[in-house]
Chain A
Amino acid sequence: MAKKKETHFSNMTPWEIVQIARHKERPVLVDYLDKIFDDFIELHGDRCFSDDRALIGGFARLDKQNVMVIGHNKGKNVQDNIAQNFGQAKPDGYRKALRLMKLAEKFNVPIIAFIDTQGAFPGLDAEERGQAEAIARNLAEMSQVTVPIICIVSGEGGSGGALGIGVGDVIIMLSNSIYSVISPEGCAAILWRDAKFSPEAAEALKLTAPSLVRLGIVDEIIDEPVGGAHTDPEATAEAVKNSLLKNLQGLQKLPPAKLVKKRFEKFANIGHFNK
């Protein structure tokens, strides 16, 4: 029986993985903050307009090492999700994230970014305050940050809203997380003219971790327990912690100029074209 279960979960379709990545019991940022980090001190606000609850961050310690943790803040229940806008950040969230990353740079502590969002919030106020500009600025600024940045896709990596905190030296994915240019539903609606083709779109988009390693984007996959992270949050958190510690050790050896140069080259090399 256990074997059968294991075989099933190792042969999941991309669409099935999408369901696990969005599972309502899947561990979220606050779970990782609680299980992996000590002394988390949340810092609020973008100094421009508001404190976006959909994207949070602050200093924390990882096995006595000082770090800055930022991440999309999906809720654990409906009430939290309403307050936290289901982890869909507005420009205020991205600007707060940038402020905290600049602070990390000043304090010379590495940055760990947890990515888990359907996407940036599509709203009137978000557009009015420059959703595009806020994300674009983060992409530009993150490329020059002089401390290590580790990005970990823990659930849904939804398009520009995910990438807005996703320019790192290392990009890690949990084995049942997804990362995509557009949601399968959105893609199906546009390219198949019908959202019922979402499973086909999920397949075509190559949004799973192994595909993204093959495409040269993702550096490492953290294996989840059989059945998904939600079946054993403790073990998942432990695996995440081990990966973070290992990667931090490697990155902290690099002098800042070399770190920035390597990050630039990493992104410069992403792409597939003919000539």
Chain B
Amino acid sequence: MGWFSKSQDEKKKIRKSPELWLRCKACKKHIFKEDWHNQHSVCPQCNYHGRLTAYERIGITLDVGTFKEINEEIHPGDPLDFVDGKGKYSDRVEETRTKSGLNESIVTGTGSIEGKPVVVGVMDFRFLGGSLGSGTGEKILRAANYAYDHKLPLIIFSASGGARMHEGLLSLMQMAKTCAAVKRLATKNLPYISVLTDPTTGGVSASFAMVGDVHLAEPGALIGFAGRRVIEQTIKQKLPDDFQTSEYLLEHGFVDRIVQRGEIKHTLSLLLSFYNR
């Protein structure tokens, strides 16, 4: 091999080095990793908003050093002794806990946003697809109850495929439980803001995520009740391209605002500034 072709090869290698570059899932362009991270996983080319972990989200939303986690010890049980085609649910839970370092699909706690005290819940899609299980529902209930007892606003960031099948009807009931919990805040006129991120579907879209006093959504997030394929099979029609996106929901009146990730903290602070306690 001549020196010329060899150096071309090396150049190629450097250009695609995964330590430095990644590919945007939406526009498929190469992005410098540092840019991606500096913009909190938003593509500088096409504005695609990638998924964040719960702690990344907390890091960019709450004032530095103010977050105090509550109920972090809550983790899934296996009330149904559920076994499916891939094995035991309890094994999947352990695997997910180890891999993600999380105990449940939501992280809850207290902190402040530009100096304003809040209770927050942030879902993490890496934990069993952000699914709503009994532990998730319990953590949301307790976060809402904390807000109720301490007269604080509640903010929940959702990211979920829906109710967790492996816990059967107990999961479905968490929809009612969480809705009751956030609804009770209204009896004390406490604000509840729902921030919908990619994806918010199924049982989570049809529960606490959709009953906020204000609904914010990140650009391009998938938000909807029934799955696209199920709908297409049912009605035998092709669905519009922007179907079930944040933009589609804004147009149809189900979200108040679409907010760039970099602006969410300030938008929340601005909204809370209108709250006369």
Q: Of B180, B206, B234, which is within 8 A of A131 by CB?
A: B206
A191 touches B86 (CB 8 A): yes
Taken together as a complex, chains A and B put the C-alpha atoms of A112 and B170 apart, in Å, by 22
Task: Kindly state whether residue A140 has any CB partner on chain B within 8 Å.
Answer: yes
Tell me, in angstroms, the Cα distance from A267 to B138 when the chains sit together: 10
Contact of B74 among A167, A268, A270, A273 (CB under 8 A): A273
Given A124-B237, A271-B134: A264 in contact with B184 (beta carbons within 8 A): yes
A191 lies within 8 A of B206 (CB): no
Residues of B within 8 A of A207 (CB): 168-169
Residue of B nearest to A171 (CB): B173
Of A264, A268, A272, A274, which one neighbours B170 at CB under 8 angstroms?
Answer: A272
Distance A127 CA – B95 CA, assembled complex (angstroms): 35
* A2 close to B (CB within 8 Å): no
Whether A131 contacts B74 by the Cβ 8 Å rule is: no
Contacts A163-B175, A274-B74 given; does A122 touch B86 at CB 8 Å: no
A217–B134 alpha-carbon span in the complex (Å): 12
Least distance between A79 CB and chain B CB atoms (Å): 20
Chain B 115-133 interface 0/1 with A at a Cβ cutoff of 8 Å (1 = within): 0000000000000000001
- Decide yes or no whether B156 CB sits under 8 A from chain A: no
From B163, B169, B225, B231, give the contact of A179 (CB < 8 A).
Answer: B169
The contact of B231 among A127, A144, A181, by CB within 8 Å, is A127
State whether A140 touches B168 (Cβ < 8 A).
Answer: no
* Docked complex: A158-179 residues within 8 A CB-CB of B: 159-160, 163-164, 166-167, 179
One of A120, A160, A212 near B175 (C-beta < 8 A): A160
- Measured between alpha carbons, how far is A130 from B211 in the docked complex, in Å? 12
What per-residue 1/0 map shows which CB atoms of A239-275 lie under 8 Å from chain B? 0000000000000000000000001100110111111
Q: Considering only CB atoms, which chain B residue lies closest to A160 in the complex? A: B206
Given A167-B180, A182-B165, A123-B76 contact (CB < 8 Å): no
A274 & B82 in contact (Cβ 8 Å cutoff): no
Given contacts A132-B205, A136-B208, A140-B211, contact A215 B85 (CB under 8 A): no
Chain B 53-95 interface mask (CB, 8 Å, partner A; 1/0): 0000000000000000001011111011011111000000000
A137-159 contacts to B, CB under 8 A, are 137, 139-144, 159
Residue of B nearest to A212 (CB): B169
| Also in contact, A215 and B169, with CB within 8 A (given A123-B231, A124-B239) | yes
Is A271 in contact with B170, judged by CB distance below 8 angstroms? yes
User: Which of B76, B227, B237, B252 contacts A128, CB < 8 Å?
Assistant: B252
How many residues of chain A have a CB within 8 Å of chain B? 58
Q: Does B153 contact A (CB under 8 A)?
A: no
Tell me, yes or no, whether A109 is within 8 Å of chain B by CB.
Answer: no
Which of chain A's residues have a CB closer than 8 A to the CB of B171? 181
Which one of B71, B210, B237 has the greatest number of beta carbons of chain A within 10 Å? B210
A33 at the interface (CB under 8 A from B): no
| A133 CA / B254 CA spacing, docked (Å) | 8
The answer for the CA separation of A141 and B226 in the assembled complex, in Å, is 22
> Are B167 and A272 neighbours in the complex by a CB distance under 8 Å?
yes
B234 touches A122 (CB 8 A): yes
Whether A275 contacts B254 in the complex (CB less than 8 A), given A135-B225, A136-B209, A215-B170, comes out as no
- Of A128, A181, A215, which is within 8 A of B79 by CB? A215
C-alpha spacing A64/B113, complex, angstroms? 57
A191-B165, A272-B77 known; A267 vs B225 contact (CB < 8 Å): no
Q: For A102, what are the chain B residues with a Cβ–Cβ distance below 8 Å?
A: none
Partner of B174, one of A120, A132, A271: A271
CB contact under 8 A between A191 and B85, given known A130-B252, A139-B175, A264-B184: yes
Residues of A within 8 Å of B80, CB to CB, are: 204-206, 215
Q: Does A84 contact B (CB under 8 A)?
A: no
Of residues 198 to 240 in B, which have CB atoms within 8 Å of A's CB atoms?
202-203, 205-211, 223-227, 230-231, 234-235, 237, 239
Report which of A163, A182, A275 forms a contact with B176, defined as CB distance below 8 A: A163
A140 to B74, CA, bound (A): 24
Distance between Cα atoms of A217 and B174 in the complex (Å): 11
Contacts of A122 in B (CB 8 A): 225-227, 230-231, 234
B127 to chain A, nearest CB (A): 13
Q: Are B210 and A270 in contact (CB under 8 A)?
A: no
Contacting residues of chain A (178-196) with chain B, CB-CB under 8 angstroms: 179-182, 187, 190-194
Q: What are 14 pairs between A and B in contact, CB < 8 Å?
A: A120-B206, A120-B225, A127-B243, A132-B206, A139-B207, A143-B184, A160-B206, A197-B85, A267-B176, A270-B170, A270-B176, A271-B138, A271-B177, A273-B77
Pairs of residues from A and B, 8 with the lowest C-beta to C-beta distance, nearest first: A122-B226, A271-B134, A143-B180, A192-B85, A272-B79, A139-B179, A191-B84, A136-B210
Write the residues of chain A forming the contact surface with B, with a CB cutoff of 8 angstroms.
120-124, 126-133, 135-137, 139-144, 159-160, 163-164, 166-167, 179-182, 187, 190-194, 197, 200-201, 204-207, 212, 215, 217, 263-264, 267-268, 270-275
Apart from A191-B85, A273-B133, 9 more pairs, CB < 8 Å = A130-B252, A132-B224, A133-B254, A143-B176, A164-B206, A217-B169, A268-B180, A271-B174, A275-B71
